[in-house]
């Protein structure tokens, strides 16, 4: 682990983000307990119908509103429709619209790194799914990440009253369908909605397949796409987050996109963003920053310590390697240039790194760039370690 990575781990509690966002702890616990009240209220057909309807309607508000509109601005709509969409999204009781969007935007900057508060890679599945919500560092909204949304006072007001829409909906359901409607219709659908969306943080980074190299663990999962109205095509989304459509192929079920497409025919929404055809075909080269991120992961799979150990043994016992030791004491760039021309023990070749990458990542037209960059990173680490050793030995 580098010094910068260690610093991130030491201070990981200072900054957090979310993918599909969780509610505050106390309401979250209470509403789970309230679901048990069905033992007293009974389960009616009316309550079950309301439950199913509220689940799908509010799931659309979460996926189409919180996520695709407020977090990514993947389509346009009017100010009035924007407010109503925010109201409907907050009826899910998943905190305020600005908070949700700010956390999610942060997520895409740090997905599956040490800054990712719910990464199964770093904290385990259960923590990624539900455990982190009991930490008190997640309550504040970072308005600096959502200046485009914070300029609307009505959205700021909604964000400051995060549970008002959900409370309003709960009261309305009670007035229409009584206690069974409230518990089975509203409470059950809210709990199911929580866990349906939570799966994107947990399962969508563990189970499924990766079509695109994204530098993280995002995966496509068909059954998650069903229960989240298209969010299960998570690797697609991380490959091109600006796209309104997350099911890139015709057979990838994405009801949120279908609904938004139909709404665009009425003029309620417009400017739906489509993924570039070259990206869909996986023919688009990776950006330099992503090449570096993926190369860093590939380089980390190689034991620099083992390489250095073998080199030190060689320069202690082979006269021809004394020049390496002498060059290692000079500038790091000189040492790297020398090491690049030598056959280092345990140093994987480009072909071996390419084969390793094939097992670690999805295919990409930039894989040669990734392999070359990873080899440079490995040589840089080796040069640094050997220079330190040579300096101490001198």
Q: Report the pLDDT value the prediction gives residue 329, as an integer from 0 to 100.
A: 56
Q: Which of 79-83, 141-145, 228-232, 317-321 has the lowest mean pLDDT?
A: 317-321
Rounded to 5 degrees, φ, ψ at 321 are -90, 0
Q: Report the pLDDT value the prediction gives residue 348, as an integer from 0 to 100.
A: 84
Q: Where in the sequence is the domain holding 32, given as residue range(s)? A: 8-280
Tell me if 42 sits within 8 A of 211, measured CB to CB: no
On whether both 174 and 128 belong to a single domain, the answer is yes
On whether both 217 and 307 belong to a single domain, the answer is no
On whether both 83 and 195 belong to a single domain, the answer is yes
Tens of pLDDT, residues 119-129? 888 888 887 78
Q: Which of 79-83, 141-145, 163-167, 272-276 has the lowest mean pLDDT?
A: 141-145
Instruction: Look over the chain and give the mean of its residue pLDDT values, rounded to a whole number.
Output: 86
Domain boundary among the residues 242, 257, 280 is at 280
Task: Indicate if the pLDDT at residue 47 is higher than 80.
Answer: yes
Q: Is residue 330 part of a domain?
A: yes
Report the Cα–Cα distance between both ends of the chain, in Å, rounded. Answer: 26
Domain boundary among the residues 225, 249, 280 is at 280
Task: Indicate if the pLDDT at residue 20 is higher than 70.
Answer: no
Q: Which of 214-223, 299-308, 383-392 has the lowest mean pLDDT?
A: 383-392
Task: Indicate if the pLDDT at residue 76 is higher than 50.
Answer: yes
Task: Indicate if the pLDDT at residue 3 is higher than 60.
Answer: no
Helices 25-34 and 188-201 meet at what angle, rounded to 10?
130
Q: Report the pLDDT value the prediction gives residue 268, as an integer from 0 to 100.
A: 97
Q: Which of 173-177, 277-281, 388-392 has the lowest mean pLDDT?
A: 388-392
pTM of the model: 0.86
Long-range CB contacts (< 8 A, 24+ apart) of 342-350? 344/307, 344/310, 344/311, 344/382, 345/307, 345/310, 345/311, 345/314, 346/303, 346/306, 346/307, 346/310, 347/307, 347/378, 347/382, 348/302, 348/378, 350/375
Q: Is residue 3 part of a domain?
A: no
Total tally of structural domains belonging to the chain? 2
Tell me if 208 sits within 8 A of 219, measured CB to CB: yes
Tell me if 50 sits within 8 A of 189, measured CB to CB: yes
Q: Is residue 148 part of a domain?
A: yes
Q: Report the pLDDT value the prediction gives residue 51, as an integer from 0 to 100.
A: 98
Task: Indicate if the pLDDT at residue 83 is higher than 80.
Answer: yes
On whether both 138 and 229 belong to a single domain, the answer is yes
Q: Of 159-173, 195-209, 310-324, which one has max mean pLDDT? A: 159-173
Q: What is the mean pLDDT of residues 255-268?
A: 97
Q: Left if phi > 0, otherwise alpha if psi is -120 to 50, otherwise beta: which for 77?
A: beta
Q: Is residue 1 part of a domain?
A: no
Tell me if 51 sits within 8 A of 169, measured CB to CB: no
Tell me if 274 sits within 8 A of 243, measured CB to CB: yes
19 vs 297, which has greater pLDDT?
Answer: 297
Task: Indicate if the pLDDT at residue 86 is higher than 70.
Answer: yes
Q: Which of 168-172, 353-357, 381-385 has the lowest mean pLDDT?
A: 381-385
On whether both 381 and 258 belong to a single domain, the answer is no
Q: Report the pLDDT value the prediction gives residue 115, as an integer from 0 to 100.
A: 80
Q: How many CB atoms lie within 10 A of CB 262?
A: 11
On whether both 305 and 215 belong to a single domain, the answer is no
Helices 304-317 and 367-393 meet at what angle, rounded to 10?
50
Label residue 15 by pLDDT band (50, 70, 90).
very low
On whether both 254 and 294 belong to a single domain, the answer is no
Q: Is residue 2 part of a domain?
A: no
Q: What is the mean pLDDT of residues 272-301?
A: 94
Tens of pLDDT, residues 338-381? 565 556 667 788 898 999 999 999 999 999 999 999 988 988 88
On whether both 384 and 241 belong to a single domain, the answer is no
Q: Report the pLDDT value the prediction gives residue 343, as an integer from 0 to 100.
A: 64
For residues 175 and 377, give the distance between their C-alpha atoms in angstroms, rounded to a whole number. Answer: 64
On whether both 167 and 203 belong to a single domain, the answer is yes
Q: Report the pLDDT value the prediction gives residue 384, as an integer from 0 to 100.
A: 78
On whether both 27 and 84 belong to a single domain, the answer is yes
Q: What is the mean pLDDT of residues 34-54?
A: 96
Task: Indicate if the pLDDT at residue 257 is higher than 50.
Answer: yes
Domain boundary among the residues 280, 296, 320 is at 280
Output the 3-class SS for 260-295. HHHHHHHCCEECCCCCCHHHHCCCCCCCHHHHHHHH
Tell me if 132 sits within 8 A of 139, measured CB to CB: no
On whether both 230 and 348 belong to a single domain, the answer is no
On whether both 267 and 326 belong to a single domain, the answer is no
Task: Indicate if the pLDDT at residue 392 is higher than 90.
Answer: no
């Amino acid at each position: 682990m580098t010094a910068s990575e260690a610093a991130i781990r030491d201070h990981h509690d200072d900054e957090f983000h979310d993918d599909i966002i969780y509610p505050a702890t106390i309401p979250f616990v209470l509403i789970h307990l309230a679901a048990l009240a069905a033992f007293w209220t009974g389960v009616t057909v009316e309550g079950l119908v309301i439950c199913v309807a509220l689940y799908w309607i509010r799931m659309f508000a979460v996926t189409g509103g919180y996520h695709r509109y407020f977090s990514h601005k993947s389509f346009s709509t009017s100010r009035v429709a924007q407010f109503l969409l925010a109201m409907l999204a907050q009826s899910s009781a998943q905190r305020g619209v600005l908070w949700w969007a700010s956390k999610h935007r942060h997520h895409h900057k740090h997905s599956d790194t040490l800054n990712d508060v719910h990464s199964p890679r770093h904290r385990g599945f259960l923590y990624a799914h539900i455990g982190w919500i009991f930490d008190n560092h997640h309550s504040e909204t970072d308005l600096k990440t959502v200046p485009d949304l914070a300029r609307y006072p009505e959205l700021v007001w909604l964000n400051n009253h995060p549970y008002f829409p959900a409370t309003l909906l709960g009261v309305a359901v009670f007035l229409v369908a009584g206690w069974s409607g409230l518990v089975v219709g509203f409470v059950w659908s809210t709990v199911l909605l929580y866990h349906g969306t939570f799966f994107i943080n947990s399962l969508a980074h563990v189970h499924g397949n990766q079509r695109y190299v994204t530098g993280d663990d995002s995966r496509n999962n068909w059954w998650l796409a069903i229960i989240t109205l298209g969010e299960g095509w998570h690797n697609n989304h991380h490959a091109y987050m600006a796209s309104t459509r997350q099911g890139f192929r015709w057979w990838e079920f994405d009801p949120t996109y279908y609904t938004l497409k139909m709404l665009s025919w009425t003029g309620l929404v417009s400017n739906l963003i489509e993924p570039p055809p070259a990206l869909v075909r996986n023919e688009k080269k990776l950006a330099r920053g992503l090449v570096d991120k993926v190369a860093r992961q590939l380089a980390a799979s190689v034991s620099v310590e083992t390489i250095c150990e073998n080199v030190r043994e060689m320069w202690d016992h082979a006269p021809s390697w004394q020049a390496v030791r002498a060059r290692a004491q000079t500038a790091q760039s000189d040492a790297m240039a020398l090491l690049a021309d030598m056959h280092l023990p345990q140093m994987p070749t480009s072909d071996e790194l390419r084969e390793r990458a094939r097992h670690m990542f999805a295919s990409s037209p930039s894989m040669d760039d990734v392999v070359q960059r990873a080899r440079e990173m490995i040589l840089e680490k080796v040069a640094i370690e050997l220079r330190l050793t040579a300096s101490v030995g001198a």
